[in-house]
Amino acid sequence: MVLARLARQREFGPSVGLIGVVLIAQLSTGHFFSSQSLTGLTTIADTVAIVAIGVTLLMISGEFDLSVGQVYAFVPIIWSTLFVVHKWDPWLALIVALGAAVLVGLVNGWVVTKFGIPSFIVTLGMYFVIQGTNNLLIGGHQLVAFDFKHPTLTAFGARIGHTPFSAGIIWLMGLTFLGWYALEKTRYGNWNFATGGGVGPAKAMGVPVARVKKANFVVCSVLAGISGCIQFAYLKGVSQAQGDKYELLAITAAVLGGTSLFGGSGTVVGSVIGAFLLASIEVGLVLMGAPGSFYITFIGVVLVLVVILNVKLGRLTTSGRR
């Protein structure tokens, strides 16, 4: 039956949740689909979702990255410091800034695989290291580029014609496709599932598990950096608070999207849907007149409920999945 096959897809649960939230928000407020709320929804969802793609790939291999939220601020801070303050060419500055993200990922991956320390601890350390560095770089200030015009800023943050959407959504579509392709269609994807499913057997079958994990840490940092640049280009500014809680929101999006906390299973599309679910809850509650940051309380409850539901339903519906 079509419905039964559909229900076995990992993306089914979060999709139902997303549709439900959107319907409730639309029916009770009547303007969920207004241009203004769609802009709000997508600008939140794009950036969380792009970070969540990297986090998902990494979680499938059985590791976490708590430093992505700080990298999300770190990369645009370096980028904009170089081209706004030091008058560098924005392209060159961008390459240097993303190079810094690669470095962060390499260090995370190297320490985790070399010393066998839980990534939770290693990336918590990295979180503090980058937070301190961000503070050193811009302190309590905001770095703005309001009057700056450059193709890089257009590419990351411009509004698309007269639509409510901006460039971030194009990036999200492209990166979702790449992430899906890598995970579902390449040998790397198979190795990634195997690494998280069982490091011992994977090694015995010749899967380079350390290399897979290192690659994931780098991808995770770079995607967080790109996402941070998208946010910067959209807002034309960055403060140290950018990316606050993003490491946790990305993990939440991944878990809502059906990614296992223990590695071995998950999907990129599911996590993107999870990110839209988070953003819809936020926008929906704001439309309903809830206090600005109350949504995080709601999300906390939803997260735990979803995991309980997954555990209860897990064994019933996992047959036929990878």
How far is the first Cα of the chain from the last one, in angstroms, to the nearest whole number? 19
Cβ atoms of 230 and 78 within 8 Å: the answer is no
State the number of binding residues for other proteins (CB under 8 A): 28
Span interacting with other proteins, options 133-141, 194-202, 249-257, 295-303, rule CB under 8 A = 194-202
What is the helix (H) or strand (E) element at residue 96, kind and residue range? helix 90-115
Stretch that binds other proteins, among 45-53, 154-162, 204-212, 305-313 (CB under 8 A): 204-212
Q: What angle do CA 33, 303, 267 make, to 5 degrees?
A: 80
Smallest gap from Cβ 116 to other proteins, in A, equals: 17
The reply on whether position 141 binds other proteins by CB under 8 A is no
- Closer CB to other proteins, residue 99 or residue 198? 198
Residue 187 binding other proteins, by CB under 8 A: yes
Closest to 152 in 3D by CA, of 226, 70, 94: 94
Angle formed by the axes of helices 268-287 and 168-185, nearest 10°: 150
Nearest CB to other proteins, comparing residues 87 and 315: 315
- Does the protein bind other proteins through residue 245 (CB under 8 A)? no
Do residues 246 and 44 make contact, with C-beta atoms less than 8 angstroms apart? no
Binding flag, residue 186, other proteins (CB under 8 A): yes
Binders of other proteins among residues 150 to 169 (CB under 8 A) are none
Options 201, 245, 288, 293; binder of other proteins; rule CB under 8 A: 201
Binding of other proteins at residue 114 (CB under 8 A)? no
CB of 191 to other proteins, least distance (A): 8
The whole-angstrom separation of Cα 51 and Cα 245 is 12
Q: Is 185 in the site for other proteins (CB under 8 A)?
A: yes
- Closest CB 10 distance from other proteins, rounded Å: 13
**CB closer to other proteins, 83 vs 191:** 191
- Nearest distance from C-beta of residue 176 to other proteins, angstroms: 17
Q: 221 or 267, CB closer to other proteins? A: 267
Residues 6 or more apart in contact with residue 305 via CB below 8 angstroms: none
Decide if 219 contacts 54 (C-beta within 8 A): yes
The minimum distance between CB 117 and other proteins, in angstroms, equals 23
Residue 46 contacts residue 168 (beta carbons within 8 Å): yes
Is there binding between residue 264 and other proteins (CB under 8 A)? Answer: yes
What's the closest the beta carbon of residue 184 comes to other proteins, in angstroms? 8
Closest distance of CB 206 from other proteins, Å: 3
How many of the other CB atoms lie within 10 Å of CB of 319?
Answer: 7
Read off the amino acid at residue 257.
G
Rank residues 116 and 292 by Cβ distance to other proteins and give the closer one.
116
189 binds other proteins (CB under 8 A): yes
Residue with tokens 């081209």: 83
Residue 55 CB: number of other CB atoms within 10 A? 33
Count how many residues are written for the chain.
Answer: 322
Question: Which residue in the block uniquely carries the two structure tokens 């590791």?
Answer: 63
Binding site for other proteins (CB under 8 A): 184-187, 189-191, 193-194, 196-198, 200-208, 264-265, 318-322
